[in-house]
Amino acid sequence: MAKTLVTYFTRTGNTKLVAEAIFGALSGNKTIQPMAEAGDLAPYHLIFAGFPVQTHSVPYPVEVFLKSIPEGQKVALFSTHGSVTGSSLSREALEYASVLVAKAHLVGTFSCRGKVSMRALEVLMQSPEHEAWADMAASAATHPDESDIEDARAFARWIMTLSVQGQYRGL
Ligand SMILES: Cc1cc2nc3c(=O)[nH]c(=O)nc-3n(C[C@H](O)[C@H](O)[C@H](O)COP(=O)(O)O)c2cc1C
């Protein structure tokens, strides 16, 4: 039977919350695991893989994981980020992640904002390369909120619908 994996990398829990929302919205045979414990990917027909944007990009362990996804396997990517949704800062990491899974079959992407810990913000604000997004990050303080979680559920349902229909399109 077709099996779905939801897997995530997280430092402060935001991406895990989104992963759990996606997992909860899925029907059928499914499992959820932190990325480090995902194990053999071969049994899964669809993989939801999520990560936090860090220093404008994809955390290194996530890069390694994404590159390991077998050729032709269906994958849906999701991310959380402190910067404003839709800004180039929030999109670029997801675009880079899409390149990392080029050999797999990317079926959709989702992202939402995630609060940045005060401690991280204080440190990051001191380095010029983080100024651009760190200034935006203050308004992420309430995210992921219920609306983000509902969007994540809708994303999961949409991907599942396409999966049943056997057709995918980037979101
Ligand atoms: C060290 C560090 C670097 C970050 N770099 C960025 C960044 O470049 N752009 C951005 O939008 N958010 C950045 N963030 C914010 C995180 O992407 C955001 O808080 C995310 O929701 C954290 O997810 P997590 O709780 O799953 O770890 C950074 C956070 C930390 C701690």
3-state secondary structure of 4: strand
Q: What is the pLDDT of residue 132?
A: 75
**108 C-alpha to ligand 1 centroid (Å):** 21
Which pLDDT band holds residue 1 (cuts at 50, 70, 90)?
A: low
The percentage of the chain sitting over the pLDDT mark of 70, rounded to a whole number, equals 95
Distance CA 137, CA 149 (A): 19
If residue 109 lies in a helix (H) or strand (E), which one and from where to where?
strand 105-113
Q: What is the pLDDT of residue 42?
A: 93
CB of 4 sitting under 6 A from ligand 1: no
Spans of all domains in the chain: 3-165
CB of 79 sitting under 6 A from ligand 1: no
CB of 15 sitting under 6 A from ligand 1: yes
56 within 8 A of 89, measured Cβ to Cβ: yes
> pLDDT by residue (tens digit) across 31-67?
999 999 999 999 999 999 999 999 889 999 999 999 9
If residue 115 lies in a helix (H) or strand (E), which one and from where to where?
none
Both tokens assigned to 13: 């829990």
> pLDDT by residue (tens digit) across 87-115?
888 899 999 999 999 999 999 999 999 99
Record the pTM: 0.94
**79 C-alpha to ligand 1 centroid (Å):** 10
Distance CA 17, CA 40 (A): 23
Q: Could you tell me the sign of the dihedral formed by the alpha carbons of 101, 105, 109, 115, in that order? A: negative
CB of 136 sitting under 6 A from ligand 1: no
**22 C-alpha to ligand 1 centroid (Å):** 20
- Name the more confident of 2 and 48: 48
CATH 3.40.50.360 fits 3-165, yes or no: yes
If residue 64 lies in a helix (H) or strand (E), which one and from where to where?
helix 60-67
Residue 171: pLDDT above 50? Answer: no
